[in-house]
Structure 1
């Protein structure tokens, strides 16, 4: 059977099980007496072991098996759980994650895990994992505990093997290696099978007989037979075939064999199957097995899901974007022709594509939980490294974001959380002296608001000192004294996002408050988002990130300047206004207007974008779009408003990467190209 077709599913499901292990281990640390949590971790490890063995990743299966033994001993009260054991199990999970990542990157998933296996073996014996064990001892112990079984058996094959055993036959697993320069591999396989069929009965081969006949294997294959011959006799007879380089014969007991569990479709040893049934019987569960099967099948039918590669969704999204452009074109044509039947058809098409758009966008939405779930483990480890007591609280992990945004937001969040832990939350001694509880709290919160998702990182630590930040900013020449005097607290705090800015007196291995925050800011802004900071000295800080729900289809206000069209994102617009020329004032060589009691500067897009003047305007009014970024506002002056519509954001390509205040372009219904204005860049 070709396992490559299942590789992607194996990788995804392995990551899910390992994440579940991480989360449940953190829960177990809080509730060490809760055996239900141990059972959850055991189930995840058991499933991962079965999947790994089926896929042929023996190193993964062996390590998971050893971890499973320790968990089994804990849940059966043979050993008592303690933080020392937790650390070792976490190390095992780290190794498993590294092996799965190796497989995902095209590797073989192999890794030297002898050290962690040694510790797990000692824990299982009831000894301290700190004791050292020689690698050779570990290898022998592992080999003794976990026989290498390369084939998986179904119930029919297991029945044959059991009946053969009762009739005095032994089960052998024979691995035959041909020389690398062997030319007629299929012929050598035929000769090996001819010998094996004379000395016993062939039960299974891996790869299958068909694949062996078609030479769909490298230079090694495995055959399971039942025979009354001895191990040495079998080896000698097979070695007589020319061009056979090596023959390994393993005598297997029925307890060693893995079969496919009919309920879970996971490989388990026959001994494990019997043990599980005994356990179920002792719990009075065996008699309810049929009811459980019914409930399980009902659950499966009610929640049917399918995994889809993100590349396919990207292709679907690109095709739909083209459809949106054509939809706009059709709407324009129907208005120009003024044909009622065409108008009605286009109207119906628009409704259907609108529904289709919502479905496609929802398919691409992923809960931020996929990013958030890596942080509890990270916070636990950092808190220990820093000798701090920190509780991480996660709120709104079910909030959904576009997959492309999710992929990019992970690293900035890691950096902000590391900063909060290192320089936000104080040490227990300092907190106690300040009248706070010894344990600090970091809250990671996500929520929807309009067409945006907000992610906040809040800590109850020392906060940011306005005086320190300003002193450093003045010293570095980032601001002048005149500018500094007029800055609000929030504007001062946001200075720490400037490149290379840091108020940390000592830069640690973890972070220096401000070091690298300029990268965080640029990453978030490249996603069309923004970051703001609020802080209260002695009480803590809040870093708030605003992100768009999706990146490709946006709502805009279409405007016109001379005969050029510009699109302004609705997410940046407060409102539109018609302003009399006589109401425009001058302040510090800048034209401004009084907008609801606030002084708002005017930006003439005609001048900023150097639009060629084809005809002079003589109107006494200006059309103004009021836009906002954070607490800053500006009025964008245009010739006229065309209206609101949804457009597809297209990049300007590799040749036009640094065009000022233009984030992209779109194709309108009449075939014209409209540039999309980057309001953040204009206000900045």
Structure 2
């Protein structure tokens, strides 16, 4: 079966199951007696194993199989949930994530997981960690997963008297050409019968893409010992352990119920194979999850029950209302619709000029319908911020353990939706903030006890909508920010003067933390303290059209607030006139608009400034910035747009205000990508081009 066409589906489903394992492991650590959580983890691991086996990603399959053994002991109350068990499970989860990401990047998904498998086996057998392992013995043959076709072939061959022999062949440690030796084994087995499968594949064996051992399954009339001796006759073969697969295991492929389940082979779930075949006919189908078993051990299902379950799966698939769609297709659709939005604006202008009521009514109806379509399409790009938040519980668990701290993370508003482009960019800034808070904010348990605080620190992560923006708040109950310490550091570095330090408000002081290279950490650690994090946070957030603010109280904690636009493709703007040109200023940067009289303008060192609500702010004449000729300043009054970038405020002087308008943001392309203070362009209803001003660049 050509599985390449199913790789994307496998990756999507695998990430979902790995996230489920991650979330439930964190929950299990807090509720170790809740066996229903173990069932959830077992189900996810089992489904992942079946999919990986079907796709022939054997390292994933073998690791999840060994995880199942440990989970099975836990759910049957034969093994307690300890810190060691949780730590090992997280190590396995990280390895699985690495293998899945390797596949997504075009790799083989292979990884040496032998140490993890051995650790799981030790947990399974109950061997203490400090006791050296017993003397090496011939290992039990690894499990070889078979698809439905392979099982059927073997079943038919066994009916005709053939043996299905699985061999685990191990080469000597000092073998020079292990690919050649592996090929000789394959040739020998092919001469003795029909070679059904090898793990790794024959091509990988020839390319030496394996360790010291590999598996092979052969159908032969020869005696198993004869097969083994033939392999051992090849030079540099250390051992060859064989297992004859029982007939009962393989008759399930033809519909007969198995009489017993051997220890060495486990069937690939039929649902996985059937579902992969059905995908070609049903593009909306997803690889199904197996029904969740009850905590108590269930009796074997009868053929009638299996048929009922299969019908249930078919009904679920047919009733599914969800499809997976590549984000690039959505982007293409939105790009095409942006052209419709531009033409919609032009039609509105034309209909107004024509005075034809029938045309005006038709265009108004078209505008309403296209506006609804626009909202739906933008919604298609919206994804829950939980895709970012999901990574933090495990990260904080690891950091807290490394630093010897106790931290309880509370997440709310994870279902808040944000544009996919913003989601992709906001993850790293949040990581910087959280690591900084864990390292510098939350104190050690003994320090918190001395201050009368609970040993466990509280870290809250919240997201919610506010107008056309998304607000993300990160708050801790730690030591807070030492205002005086920040000022001393800034004075020593020459960032501010003594006079400025005396007049700075708290928010202005805390904003110094986001200056490049600024850090108040006494010691540099691997977690934070190098001064290379918070300036990246501010730069990234501002590049997304957002801003960040800080509030803190010494000894009680800190709070970081990030405001981001819902979407980056269509902007709400204020259109302004500068001589004969029309410019657009994003509303997200605007504080307010004002009309100033000439006498309201003051000058500091020759530069114009105004008093805006008790604060002196500079005036920026946009006609000078953009080198527009024939400037004719109105001596009576000025139209000024007050804009903000973080804690900095400036006034942009324009000729007049034209009103608010939603515009489609278009890139200026490669030739104009570095144009100063211009973030893009749009096409207005009359067909003219309007440049979109970047207030952040002007203030900076």
TM range (shorter): 0.7 to 0.9
Q: In the alignment, which residue of structure 2 is the partner of 1:455?
A: 472
Give 1:20-99 correspondences, 5 Å limit.
Answer: 20-99=20-99
Q: In the alignment, which residue of structure 2 is the partner of 1:442?
A: 459
Secondary structure of 1:77's counterpart equals coil
Q: Deviations over 1:551-605 (max 9, x none)?
A: 111111111111011101122234444x253562426355555667776654332
Q: Work out which of the residue numbers 640, 665, 674 in structure 1 matches 2:690.
A: 674
Deviation at 1:236, TM superposition (A): 12
For residues 300 and 34 of structure 2, what CA distance do their matches in structure 1 show?
Answer: 18
Unaligned runs of 5+ in 1: 182-188, 207-214, 239-246, 268-272
For residues 450 and 295 of structure 2, what CA distance do their matches in structure 1 show?
Answer: 57
Deviation at 1:145, TM superposition (A): 5.0
Are positions 1:382 and 2:399 aligned together?
yes
Secondary structure of 1:659's counterpart equals coil
Please, which moves more after superposition, 600-609 or 255-264? 255-264
For residues 40 and 338 of structure 2, what CA distance do their matches in structure 1 show?
Answer: 44
For residues 488 and 626 of structure 1, what CA distance do their matches in structure 2 show?
Answer: 20
For residues 308 and 71 of structure 2, what CA distance do their matches in structure 1 show?
Answer: 28
Q: In the alignment, which residue of structure 1 is the partner of 2:415?
A: 398
Give 1:185-204 correspondences, 5 Å limit.
Answer: none
For residues 630 and 326 of structure 2, what CA distance do their matches in structure 1 show?
Answer: 49
Is the 2:460–2:474 contact (alpha carbons within 8 Å) kept by the matching residues of 1? Answer: yes
Give 1:175-186 correspondences, 5 Å limit.
Answer: none
Please, which moves more after superposition, 600-609 or 306-315? 600-609
Aligned CA distance change for structure 1 residues 666 and 165 (closer, same or farther; 3 Å): same
TM-score, scaled to structure 1: 0.83
Is the 2:50–2:269 contact (alpha carbons within 8 Å) kept by the matching residues of 1? Answer: no
Deviation at 1:683, TM superposition (A): 3.8
Secondary structure of 2:504's counterpart equals coil
Please, which moves more after superposition, 466-475 or 513-522? 513-522
Aligned CA distance change for structure 1 residues 513 and 291 (closer, same or farther; 3 Å): farther
Secondary structure of 1:370's counterpart equals helix
Secondary structure of 1:622's counterpart equals strand
For residues 689 and 353 of structure 2, what CA distance do their matches in structure 1 show?
Answer: 19
Deviation at 1:344, TM superposition (A): 2.7
Aligned CA distance change for structure 1 residues 486 and 101 (closer, same or farther; 3 Å): same
Aligned CA distance change for structure 1 residues 36 and 583 (closer, same or farther; 3 Å): same
Is the 2:342–2:664 contact (alpha carbons within 8 Å) kept by the matching residues of 1? Answer: yes
Secondary structure of 1:321's counterpart equals helix
Secondary structure of 1:478's counterpart equals coil
Q: Work out which of the residue numbers 610, 623, 639 in structure 2 matches 1:623.
A: 639
Q: Deviations over 1:31-67 (max 9, x none)?
A: 1111111111111110111011000111111111111
Q: In the alignment, which residue of structure 1 is the partner of 2:374?
A: 357
Deviation at 1:24, TM superposition (A): 0.9
For residues 443 and 134 of structure 1, what CA distance do their matches in structure 2 show?
Answer: 48
Is the 1:152–1:257 contact (alpha carbons within 8 Å) kept by the matching residues of 2? Answer: no
Are positions 1:252 and 2:245 aligned together?
yes
For residues 596 and 455 of structure 2, what CA distance do their matches in structure 1 show?
Answer: 60
Aligned length: 642
For residues 621 and 135 of structure 1, what CA distance do their matches in structure 2 show?
Answer: 92
Give 1:143-292 correspondences, 5 Å limit.
Answer: 144=140, 146-149=142-145, 151-153=146-148, 170-171=163-164, 230-231=223-224, 251-253=244-246, 254=249, 255=262, 259=267, 261-263=269-271, 281-282=298-299
TM-score, scaled to structure 2: 0.81
Deviation at 1:232, TM superposition (A): 7.4
For residues 522 and 597 of structure 1, what CA distance do their matches in structure 2 show?
Answer: 28
Q: In the alignment, which residue of structure 1 is the partner of 2:654?
A: 638
Is the 1:59–1:111 contact (alpha carbons within 8 Å) kept by the matching residues of 2? Answer: yes
Q: Deviations over 1:519-543 (max 9, x none)?
A: 1111111111111111111111111
For residues 383 and 515 of structure 1, what CA distance do their matches in structure 2 show?
Answer: 21
Aligned CA distance change for structure 1 residues 29 and 467 (closer, same or farther; 3 Å): same
Q: In the alignment, which residue of structure 2 is the partner of 1:211?
A: none
Aligned CA distance change for structure 1 residues 57 and 590 (closer, same or farther; 3 Å): same
Q: Deviations over 1:438-491 (max 9, x none)?
A: 111111111111111111111111111111111111111111222222211001
For residues 476 and 68 of structure 1, what CA distance do their matches in structure 2 show?
Answer: 57
Are positions 1:469 and 2:486 aligned together?
yes
Please, which moves more after superposition, 117-126 or 508-517? 508-517
Give 1:467-616 correspondences, 5 Å limit.
Answer: 467-512=484-529, 514-577=531-594, 579=595, 581-582=597-598, 584-586=600-602, 588=604, 591=608, 601-613=618-630, 616=632
Aligned CA distance change for structure 1 residues 159 and 630 (closer, same or farther; 3 Å): closer
For residues 108 and 135 of structure 1, what CA distance do their matches in structure 2 show?
Answer: 33
Q: In the alignment, which residue of structure 2 is the partner of 1:661?
A: 677
Deviation at 1:159, TM superposition (A): 7.4
Is the 1:397–1:445 contact (alpha carbons within 8 Å) kept by the matching residues of 2? Answer: yes
Q: In the alignment, which residue of structure 2 is the partner of 1:184?
A: none
Is the 1:625–1:635 contact (alpha carbons within 8 Å) kept by the matching residues of 2? Answer: yes
